[in-house]
Structure 1
Amino acid sequence: MNQHLRHIHPLAWTIILGTMFGRLVTSMSIPFLSIYLTQVLGATPTQTGFTVAVSSLAGVMISFYGGYISDIIGRKTVMLISVFCWAGVFFGFSAAQHLWVFFLVNTLNGLCRAVFEPTSRALLSDITPPDHKLLVFNLRYAAVNLGVVFGPIIGLQLGSAKSTFPFMIAGIVYIAYGLVLFLQFSVHHSSLPARSVVQAPRLREALATTGRDRVFLPVLLGTTFCVLGYGHFSSTLAQYLAMNTHFSDGRQLFSYMLSLNAVTVLVVQYPIVRTASKFPPLIPLILGNACVALSLLLFGVAGGVALLMFSVVLFTIGEVLLFTMMDMLIDRIAQPEWKGTYFGTIGFNNFGNVMAPIFGGLLLDQFGASNGPAVFIPLALTTALGLPFLITAHRRLTAREKSSSIGESAIKL
């Protein structure tokens, strides 16, 4: 292992460590935004839902072209511009005093994230030899969750649900991240791969190609409902716990649940992925959707901390099943000459993240935080709507691969 670690590019280490500290400071602040807006600014859950959702909407609108931008003007330029703009976004959060300002700044937050993060992953791929890529991307995923283990607890101690001060800390950390990246790019400029010229992806052509794929289309629809269910954890659940008088300190409880979620990812990721890789790629997604839907139902009926924490573990198992197997699934079903298009188009399932805080906010406004089942049963049912699409995709993929196998056998004969 030590020999493999020594072969990791210094810029890759910068991105991995920067990701860890970046997620640490963002998980100190962003997850508590919905609580701050409702309890300090006095926004309604619906207003809060729209304000939180706009970040994901902005990301969806630009994510299809995010990698293309860095291909044209270079990873270095895109990463440096976006990381310093992102730092400015966090300073904007810290200075905001009106709901419309939070709406604007969170829009910019989604844009910066949708440009910086795909570009940083593309750079990791550029500078890492093929036999070390799995290690590097696993290290990055572990760094994400290490940051989230401690971030919510630190944020709670800093008063993230009552103050915007933690956003200023996030801004300072991202400035430091940007400066280190600038130095590393300067020092290791000669070892970076040359930029290649690529043709701009055409959105209409991409949608037409993937839309004709009888396997991909139900996958896209099914995973949109999966992402919808996943999005309720950091939006609807946060407001529900903070507003529910049954729990003595919902803000503190939510911070512990965020940390438990990250710890559980670190513990279960390897055994789950190892086991799930032995099954057809859609089976883990089907099981993941069922786990997330069931956990949302349990959140709504939980009367004590023990059931809430069990629900977090179940939710996290579903999360790992859904998101760690997604890339393998898309790689398997994509037409070889259109793989980039398939990977770009699957990002539209993030419309689920757009709808989650809005739908959850409407339910909280309608039924209130004291009526958990009325809020969370609809959330669980809408998440489970992904199951028919995923089951259909599984059947079609099985039939396609069986037909392809028979065709290959006939050719050999």
Structure 2
Amino acid sequence: MTTLKKLHPLILNIIIGTMFGRMATSMSIPFLAIYLTNVKGVSSSETGMIIAVSSFIGIGTSFFGGYLSDRFGRKIVLYISIFLWVGVFIGFGVVNSVAGFFVVNAMNGFCRSVFEPTSRALLADLTEPKNRLVIFNLRYTAINIGVIFGPIVGYYLGSSKTTFPFFIAAAVYIIYGISLIITFRKYPLSPGSKNNNEERVTLKQAFQIARTDSILLWSLIGLIFAITGYSQFGSTLPQYLSNTTQIENGAKFFSIFLALNAAVVILIQYPLLKIGKKYSPILSIILGNVICSTGLIGFGLADTIPIWIVMVIIFTFGEVLMFSMTDMFMDTIAKPNLRGTYFGAMGFTQIGNVLGPALGGFLLDYFGYNNPLMVFGSLFLLSIIGVPILINVKLKLKNSPHMSKLKE
């Protein structure tokens, strides 16, 4: 087990920056769907498309962003993306039209899909293989610490009624960007750091390598279906809770559910991690897909707040099993000189975050806000398709050279 004192300062910077950055964005982004439908009068279908465009843009740009960080270095890609992200958050605060929200959320997806795989690749670059699972999960913990406080603060700041909290997010990311500049200058990456001394490949070669890796391709397809179901927690669920007649003050309860989700993640993450380390990451991902899908059915059946709390907790167990191992799984199947590209390829799983909100919004318009079983039941059926696909990946891994890395 690595200790905080032994971590490279850039790792600490990214983990701490991730915590405060996610706190700031969870004050604002999760409430965007409620703001658009309740304040701007945008239909559920249009709102779903606005939410989904962020992931749609990220599908392709994540791969390119990861590749560019392999090609030109992590530092320059991190600088450009984080300060462009600041401008995006300011844009959220000033736009008024549906088209404006569509454009700024598209840019939000671009910045996130470039910054996130690059930062994860840098964490892997600076960490010994035996400690990477711990570091990836420290980052995941940091995300959820931020999400515990962000939604509650966002609710009391009126995030479902105003875009002011986006200016707070912009300020936080300015500080995050400046801190990265200072840390890189004080602790520069050596010329022989991992993403600089490996053989560099062209974009065409990167595409060819990724395209011919069947384990990568089937993993992405399975995760797309799994994430289609998971995405409902931040898109369809807030719209449903804030508009159904079955729950009073649904926006408040949604903020509580977000905080509960993050708190449960922190409580169960490391106990589950100790168990999960005994098995392959793909097994954890499969089980997480099953449990998240089960949680969706629970959302369709829940009719009291205690039952909702239980369903959120069940859903969160699935989330932890899926996402606490995803980065580790991707790191183990990645080719050393294409780590950024492989993490970038994870951006293709954002197809699930495109299909999910768009389909969820359509189902809400079609079945209405008082027929949750049909809405969430349909989403369950789509999400569970990921399970047999990921089982196929597990079978392929048995005869794969990746297997030796997964057993380390």
For the criterion TM > 0.5, the same-fold answer is yes
Deviations 1:162-218 (A, max 9, x none): 0000001111111111122222222223767554462123365245402xx3x5544
1:63-78 map, 5 Å: 63-78=62-77
Distance in 2 between residues matched to 1:290 and 1:190, nearest whole Å: 41
Distance in 1 between residues matched to 2:331 and 2:77, nearest whole Å: 26
Which residue pairs with 1:198 in the alignment?
A: 200
Q: Please, which moves more after superposition, 111-120 or 228-237?
A: 111-120
The answer as to whether partners of 1:231 and 1:357 remain within 8 angstroms in 2 is yes
Distance in 2 between residues matched to 1:184 and 1:47, nearest whole Å: 42
Q: Quickly say closer, same or farther: Cα 1:186–1:393, change in 2 above 3 A.
A: closer
Q: Please, which moves more after superposition, 127-136 or 36-45?
A: 127-136
Distance in 1 between residues matched to 2:191 and 2:285, nearest whole Å: 36
Which amino acid in structure 1 is aligned with residue 34 of structure 2? Answer: I
SS at match of 1:325: helix
The answer as to whether partners of 2:281 and 2:328 remain within 8 angstroms in 1 is yes
Q: Tell me the percent identity.
A: 47
Which residue pairs with 1:209 in the alignment?
A: 212
Distance in 2 between residues matched to 1:282 and 1:295, nearest whole Å: 20
TM-score normalised by structure 2 residue count: 0.90
Q: Quickly say closer, same or farther: Cα 1:362–1:178, change in 2 above 3 A.
A: same
Q: Please, which moves more after superposition, 324-333 or 58-67?
A: 324-333
Which amino acid in structure 2 is aligned with residue 228 of structure 1? Answer: T
Which residue pairs with 2:224 in the alignment?
A: 224
Distance in 2 between residues matched to 1:18 and 1:193, nearest whole Å: 26
Cα displacement (A) at 1:358: 0.2
Cα displacement (A) at 1:251: 0.5
SS at match of 2:233: coil
Which amino acid in structure 2 is aligned with residue 226 of structure 1? Answer: A
Which residue pairs with 1:362 in the alignment?
A: 362
Which residue pairs with 1:287 in the alignment?
A: 287
Q: Please, which moves more after superposition, 21-30 or 345-354?
A: 345-354
Cα displacement (A) at 1:327: 4.0
Deviations 1:138-174 (A, max 9, x none): 3222111100010000000000000000001111111
SS at match of 1:245: coil
Distance in 2 between residues matched to 1:158 and 1:121, nearest whole Å: 31
Q: Please, which moves more after superposition, 176-185 or 189-198?
A: 189-198
Cα displacement (A) at 1:313: 0.9
Distance in 2 between residues matched to 1:339 and 1:120, nearest whole Å: 11
Which residue pairs with 1:410 in the alignment?
A: none
Which residue pairs with 1:35 in the alignment?
A: 34
Q: Please, which moves more after superposition, 244-253 or 183-192?
A: 183-192
Which amino acid in structure 1 is aligned with residue 18 of structure 2? Answer: T
The answer as to whether partners of 2:24 and 2:169 remain within 8 angstroms in 1 is yes
The answer as to whether partners of 2:66 and 2:345 remain within 8 angstroms in 1 is no
Which residue pairs with 2:118 in the alignment?
A: 119
Distance in 1 between residues matched to 2:358 and 2:328, nearest whole Å: 31
Cα displacement (A) at 1:77: 2.0
Which amino acid in structure 1 is aligned with residue 325 of structure 2? Answer: M
Which amino acid in structure 2 is aligned with residue 263 of structure 1? Answer: A
The answer as to whether partners of 1:160 and 1:166 remain within 8 angstroms in 2 is yes
1:13-412 map, 5 Å: 13-130=12-129, 132-189=131-188, 195-196=196-197, 198-202=200-204, 204-206=207-209, 208-210=211-213, 213=214, 215-330=215-330, 343-398=343-398, 400=399
Q: Quickly say closer, same or farther: Cα 1:191–1:330, change in 2 above 3 A.
A: closer
Cα displacement (A) at 1:65: 1.7
Cα displacement (A) at 1:136: 3.3
The answer as to whether partners of 1:66 and 1:115 remain within 8 angstroms in 2 is yes
Distance in 2 between residues matched to 1:279 and 1:53, nearest whole Å: 34
Distance in 2 between residues matched to 1:6 and 1:19, nearest whole Å: 19
Distance in 1 between residues matched to 2:242 and 2:182, nearest whole Å: 43
Structure 1 unmatched ranges of 5 or more: 406-413
Structure 2 unmatched ranges of 5 or more: none
Distance in 1 between residues matched to 2:169 and 2:98, nearest whole Å: 20
TM-score normalised by structure 1 residue count: 0.89
Q: Quickly say closer, same or farther: Cα 1:396–1:61, change in 2 above 3 A.
A: closer
The answer as to whether partners of 2:229 and 2:292 remain within 8 angstroms in 1 is yes
Q: Quickly say closer, same or farther: Cα 1:142–1:193, change in 2 above 3 A.
A: farther
Q: Quickly say closer, same or farther: Cα 1:207–1:186, change in 2 above 3 A.
A: closer
Deviations 1:56-112 (A, max 9, x none): 111111111212212333322222221111111001000011110000000111111
SS at match of 1:164: coil
The answer as to whether partners of 2:121 and 2:340 remain within 8 angstroms in 1 is no
Q: Quickly say closer, same or farther: Cα 1:190–1:329, change in 2 above 3 A.
A: closer
Q: Quickly say closer, same or farther: Cα 1:26–1:342, change in 2 above 3 A.
A: closer
Number of equivalent positions: 399
Q: Please, which moves more after superposition, 284-293 or 28-37?
A: 284-293
Distance in 1 between residues matched to 2:97 and 2:3, nearest whole Å: 50
Which amino acid in structure 1 is aligned with residue 22 of structure 2? Answer: R
- Greater gyration radius: 1
Distance in 2 between residues matched to 1:110 and 1:315, nearest whole Å: 24
Q: Quickly say closer, same or farther: Cα 1:132–1:384, change in 2 above 3 A.
A: closer
Task: Please report the RMSD computed on the Cα atoms of aligned residues, expressed in angstroms.
Answer: 2.6
Distance in 1 between residues matched to 2:220 and 2:132, nearest whole Å: 26
Q: Please, which moves more after superposition, 384-393 or 223-232?
A: 384-393
Distance in 2 between residues matched to 1:133 and 1:127, nearest whole Å: 9
SS at match of 1:233: helix
The answer as to whether partners of 1:206 and 1:341 remain within 8 angstroms in 2 is no
The answer as to whether partners of 2:63 and 2:345 remain within 8 angstroms in 1 is yes
The answer as to whether partners of 1:8 and 1:136 remain within 8 angstroms in 2 is no
Q: Please, which moves more after superposition, 335-344 or 258-267?
A: 335-344
Q: Please, which moves more after superposition, 180-189 or 277-286?
A: 277-286
Cα displacement (A) at 1:338: 7.7
